[in-house]
Amino acid sequence: MVRHARTLMTTLLGAHQVAASAPGFLEPYDVVTAVEGLAGLEINDYRAAPAASPPVRRADEAWEPPPATDLVRGTPHTAGDGVVAVLGLNRLDAVEQAARHGRTTVVLVTGAPQELAPLARLTLAQLTGPLRRAFPAHAWPDVHVLCDETGEIARAAGVPAVSDETEVAVRVSGGRIVARAEGFAACQAVASG
């Protein structure tokens, strides 16, 4: 249902922006009707796997991330099992590869944290605001987003240096990092492995 979710988020975000810039232009019930119609819309959700992906290396390392706030929920993040994707801002499309396979924690990193991290936070706030108002928390996807301006979370995942092109994925099980991959399609490799 990834493409359904993408279409739904686009509709809600667009309606939110129109309502903010042209109050009274949209009828709220029309938006509700449109969103209800999306649930029955047939959308091809197929996504081809990447042609090549990096090798997944087995690991046995502690996973002890520092405290952080989940920007999707606006609550303290609780580390759990699943995929942790350390992604530079130019690699965010890789989130979908991991999210299709269960719980995913996205750690946003950038080579220019003073400049770009606040913009990433702003964009997430604009995206999640309509999500929080439209759906109860139990209906949200199991995706958690952390903004790592200091690089501490990335280092906890074994990533010593970051840039806007970073793509490293680790699988966490029982509080331990048990697998890792680096480079293009690392999220797909770890999530599906």
**Amino acid letter, residue 181:** A
The least confident of 6-10, 49-53, 76-80, 106-110 is 49-53
Q: Which CATH number belongs to the domain containing residue 94 in this structure?
A: 3.40.30.10
Residue 175 lies in a domain: yes
Question: pLDDT of 94-133, one tens digit each?
Answer: 888 777 778 899 999 999 999 999 999 998 888 888 778 8
Query: Given this model, what pLDDT does residue 148 score?
Result: 96
Lowest mean pLDDT among 3-7, 53-57, 135-139: 3-7
Quote the pLDDT of residue 47: 64
Say if residue 12 is in the same domain as residue 86. Answer: no
Distances (CA, A) of 21 to 3, 18, 128, 133, 159: 27, 5, 18, 18, 41
**Is the pLDDT confidence value at 80 over 80?**
yes
Are 98 and 169 in contact by the 8 Å Cβ rule? The answer is: yes
pLDDT of residue 26: 86
Q: What is the pLDDT of residue 45?
A: 66
Could you read off the pLDDT of 159-176 as tens digits, one per residue? 999 999 999 999 999 999
Give the pLDDT confidence score for residue 130 in this predicted structure.
76
Q: How far is the C-alpha of 33 from the C-alpha of 143, rounded, in Å?
A: 26
Using DSSP, state whether 144 is helix, strand or coil.
strand
**Same domain (yes/no): 139, 111:** yes
**Interatomic CA distance for residues 179 and 186, integer angstroms:** 11
Same domain, 26 and 70: no
Sign of the torsion formed by the C-alpha atoms of 144, 91, 188 and 8: positive
Q: Is the pLDDT of residue 93 over 70?
A: yes
What pLDDT digit, counting tens, does each position of 10-30 carry?
A: 887 788 788 888 888 888 888
What residue numbers bound the domain in which 60 lies?
56-192
* pLDDT for 48: 64
Query: How far is Cα 133 from Cα 15, in angstroms, rounded to an integer?
Result: 13
Q: CA-CA distance, 119 to 108, in Å (whole number)?
A: 12
Sign of the CA dihedral running 119, 121, 125, 131: positive
Q: Say whether both 80 and 37 belong to one domain.
A: no
